[in-house]
Amino acid sequence: MVESQNAKSKTSDQPSDQGRRTFLKTMIVVAAGAALAGVLKGVVSEIIAPQVGLSTFPTLQLVNSAGTPIKYSDIPVNTPTTWLFYYPLSNDPNFLLKLGDKNGSPISVGPASVTIPADGSTFVFPGGVGPEGSQSIVAYSAICQHLGCVPPEIHYYPPGQAIPGTSYGAAQNNYGIIHCSCHGSTYDPKSGCAVLTGPTSRPLPNTILRYNQDGTISAVGMIGPTIYGKASDLTGGTPFPAGQVTTVVTNTGEA
Ligand code: FES
């Protein structure tokens, strides 16, 4: 009788043990799920981290390191050394060039339709800026569109200068060429930095300049492909401080 009571008691405990086990298993699964969710959330937020940036292109006047506005006459024809400024964000380098011929006379750079070989689309390069008849100043992103090399690897070669390791000897370089020594891409700065030779399949992004009535110059936008490595020209970097209306042009001194 006692035995049968014990047996009954044992039998009546079984559902309770099973319930605890089920409960414990459930808790383990929930805890593991929560831990995994936490890890995934960290990974996902790392991947889609909110991009710092701007909603519109700023207007920034080009100035020298002393804060004095750069004027047309301040920039040497054929820009024998590298002049750079940052736009539209504070870590986006751009070439500033005054284009000329082999004799050192500035040329007027007209608008041009530029093809993006990567997808066959086109955009309109607005041409250079400067006094009437001398619109010879242009600006382009200084980050190669192939794999992102920056100056001095990507470099402007004035007219009449041979480009080492290419078919552009002094005689072939009539109006200046931008060449990237990382893998050999070349761009035509008098035609919206269209692709002359690959491996790049995208022109350099064009930095839109405005020639102001007082002879100064401002950067006001970008056109063409997106700056290399960014989802948009206005994000993925550090904006200039609020209220800043200038960007400093630096002559790096590199020929
Ligand atoms: S990064 Fe410029 S050619 Fe490859």
Residue 106 DSSP class: B
- In whole angstroms, give the CA distance from residue 99 to residue 195: 17
| Residue 191 belongs to some domain of the structure | yes
- In whole angstroms, give the CA distance from residue 197 to residue 68: 38
For residues 98 and 208, state if they share a domain: yes
Q: Ligand 1 pocket: which residues have CB below 6 Å? A: 144, 146-149, 154, 180, 182-185, 199-200
3-state secondary structure of 191: helix
Confidence at 40, pLDDT banded by 50, 70, 90: very low
Of all atoms in ligand 1, which is nearest to the CA of residue 149? 1
pLDDT at 54: 87
For residues 2 and 84, state if they share a domain: no
For residues 39 and 64, state if they share a domain: no
Q: For a substitution probing ligand 1, which of 140, 146, 179, 228 has the most ligand atoms within 8 Å of its CB?
A: 146
Residue type at 1? M
CATH number at 161 reads: 2.102.10.10
Structure tokens at 191: 């035609």
Q: Provide long-range contacts, Cβ within 8 A and 24+ apart, for 223-228.
A: 223/123, 223/124, 223/125, 223/126, 224/114, 224/116, 224/123, 224/125, 224/192, 224/193, 225/116, 225/118, 225/145, 227/92, 227/141, 227/143, 228/141, 228/143, 228/144, 228/145, 228/147, 228/148
| Each residue's pLDDT tens digit, 79-115 | 989 999 999 999 999 999 999 999 999 999 999 999 9
For residues 240 and 144, state if they share a domain: yes
**pLDDT of 170 strictly over 60:** yes
| 229 close to 143: Cβ distance less than 8 angstroms | yes
| Residue 55 belongs to some domain of the structure | no
- In whole angstroms, give the CA distance from residue 88 to residue 82: 19
Closest CA to 224 of 116, 92, 84, 127: 116
Give the residue numbers spanning the domain of 229: 60-251
If one counts the domains in the chain, the total is 2
Output the CA 110–ligand 1 centroid distance in Å: 27
| Residue 241 belongs to some domain of the structure | yes
Of all atoms in ligand 1, which is nearest to the CA of residue 144? 2
Instruction: Please indicate whether residue 209 or residue 31 has the higher confidence score (pLDDT).
Output: 209
For residues 29 and 101, state if they share a domain: no
Structure tokens at 220: 């006001």
| Residue 89 belongs to some domain of the structure | yes
| Residue 147 belongs to some domain of the structure | yes
For residues 25 and 131, state if they share a domain: no
3-state secondary structure of 246: strand
For residues 6 and 84, state if they share a domain: no
| Each residue's pLDDT tens digit, 201-247 | 999 999 999 999 999 999 999 999 999 999 999 999 999 999 999 99
Q: Say whether the peptide bond before residue 199 is cis (omega within 30 degrees of 0).
A: yes
Residue type at 220? V
| Each residue's pLDDT tens digit, 179-206 | 999 999 999 999 999 999 999 999 999 9
**CA-closest residue to ligand 1 atom 1:** 147
